[in-house]
Structure 1
Amino acid sequence: MNAFLSFLIRFVAAGFTTFLTWIFSFFIFDRSFFESFFYSLIGGTAVFFGLKYYIRHRFIKMTGLTRSEYKLVQRNLKDAKQKIQRLQKALFNISNIRDFINAKHNIETIRVVKKIYSVTKKEPVRFFKAEEFYYKHLDSMVEIAEKYSFLSSQPVKTKELNQSLQETRQTLTQLSNVIKEDLYNMLEGDLDSLQFELDVARQSINQKKIDDGRFQK
């Protein structure tokens, strides 16, 4: 469930519970104003955090993961979010015109990285299909991109530095292709399912054309 929607549901339910508890305590059970307020606050707080636990528990159950697996995924997502921010900053910290030629490639790389992150956040179970991305490829991409950004920003470039930049750019391109493979592996099951549905649809269309041809004869 969307985090904001979850918070809104809990907030409304807690507010409603707080109001009803105060009404019952003050008017029906004849408690004092402050005593009723205290009870209503306890009731509202219990509902707010109780719903939070229930919604999270239900979501984890729907993912098919254990609680420890879910926590592992969330911890890696938190780390990945910071790394993606660093990667985005490094790739777009461009200092010369030759790098602008690669801007489109950098944007595509960020788009793929964010797609892997968003798919994992929406469906945590997919994390285990992209473990290499989270444990290896993303770290390498961030480290190399930051070094490339630093070196390319130097005002004076020697022959050795230009060669190093070229090699680093090639490595970034290779890593970008590897990350695209990570995304493909993550979505492979969906792609196979889609291909199967397309094949079935084509067979149905072809069969309909054959049947229509026979009918016209």
Structure 2
Amino acid sequence: MNNFQQFLTRQAIMLPVSFGSWLYFLLGAGMTFIPATGLLIAIYLAGDFSIRQVQTTSEVKRLGMTRSEYKHIEHQLSEAKSKLRQLNAHYGNIRSVQAFRQLNELNKLSKRIIGIVGQNPKKFYNVEKFFYAHLDSAVELSSKYALLANQPAKDPEMQATLQQTRETLTDLNEEIRKDVKRALTTDLETLKFELDYADVLTGKERKQLNTAETKSLPLEGDDPDDRKSTGS
């Protein structure tokens, strides 16, 4: 989902068209500024919407997905980015070095998954648990930890709760790390297949080379001088 690239493409088309139309309305058609500007906005919005629909249709066809699937994944990516911003908002409220590292790791892993799915929406189905559960848990746990950590007085029960929360964050980090592996599964399988195929080709070439070398070697007892003397 190259949304930014698609946005630039729409602007590259619609800005010149809209501005050119606006100049025509003012100079060629003799319209006043306000009606011409109103038409400029209408042309821009209608054109931008139309091109966006064409881009979506083209992307859906390229991916082999339905439009509803594509829109659903696009929505989930948008929601995940919003949740990631909530997660990052807790950085300043965490005092523990361990918890800060855990939060930083969660942030990096989550960004990686969102980036992978953004590049290949089909991978969403490999990591549905991340979007539906794991990221929500990360936001909730980090919020809970930040709240408890900022309490002025910490009794033994609160200390135990903080420790339990850190341990849960550790477990969650491990689950999200597995999500990253699941997101990359097809890429790793493709790479392994390509490497295996390359090994097969290399083996064939090596075998062909060995066969050619064997054929070019003289047979035992076959002396070139003997052949010459025989021929004469």
Common fold: TM-score over 0.5: yes
Whole-angstrom distance in 1 between the partners of 2:93 and 2:204: 56
| 1:137 equivalent in structure 2 | 134
Work out which of the residue numbers 103, 106, 121 in structure 2 matches 1:106: 103
| 2:185 equivalent in structure 1 | 188
- Native 8 Å contact 2:26 2:32 kept in 1: no
Alignment of 1:14-93 (within 5 A): 14-18=14-18, 21=21, 31-34=29-32, 37=36, 41=40, 43-91=43-91, 93=93
- Residues 1:159 and 2:159 are matched in the alignment: no
Change (3 A) 1:82 1:24: closer
Cα shift readout 1:11-35 (whole Å, capped 9, x = no counterpart): 23223334655687899xx744459
Whole-angstrom distance in 2 between the partners of 1:54 and 1:17: 17
CA positional deviation for 1:115: 0.9
CA positional deviation for 1:151: 1.0
Whole-angstrom distance in 2 between the partners of 1:7 and 1:101: 40
Percent identity over the alignment?
31
Change (3 A) 1:213 1:150: farther
CA positional deviation for 1:111: 0.8
Change (3 A) 1:5 1:75: closer
Whole-angstrom distance in 1 between the partners of 2:202 and 2:172: 41
Structure 2 residues not aligned, in runs of 5+: 218-232
- Residues 1:175 and 2:172 are matched in the alignment: yes
- Native 8 Å contact 1:91 1:145 kept in 2: no
Letter in 1 for 2:159: N
CA positional deviation for 1:194: 1.2
Letter in 1 for 2:105: E
Q: CA RMSD in A?
A: 3.1
Cα shift readout 1:85-128 (whole Å, capped 9, x = no counterpart): 12222355322xxx214533432221111111111222222212
Letter in 2 for 1:108: E
**Runs of 4 or more above 6 Å deviation:** 22-27, 209-214
- Native 8 Å contact 2:2 2:119 kept in 1: no
How many residue pairs get matched?
212
Change (3 A) 1:117 1:39: closer
Change (3 A) 1:211 1:127: same
Which protein has the larger Cα radius of gyration, Structure 1 or Structure 2? Answer: 2
Structure 1 residues not aligned, in runs of 5+: none
Greater shift, 111-120 or 40-49, is seen at 40-49
SS in structure 1 of the partner of residue 93 of structure 2 = coil
Change (3 A) 1:213 1:100: farther
CA positional deviation for 1:212: 6.6
CA positional deviation for 1:39: 10
| 1:115 equivalent in structure 2 | 112
Whole-angstrom distance in 1 between the partners of 2:115 and 2:150: 31
Whole-angstrom distance in 1 between the partners of 2:154 and 2:25: 77
TM-score by length of 2: 0.74
Letter in 1 for 2:72: L
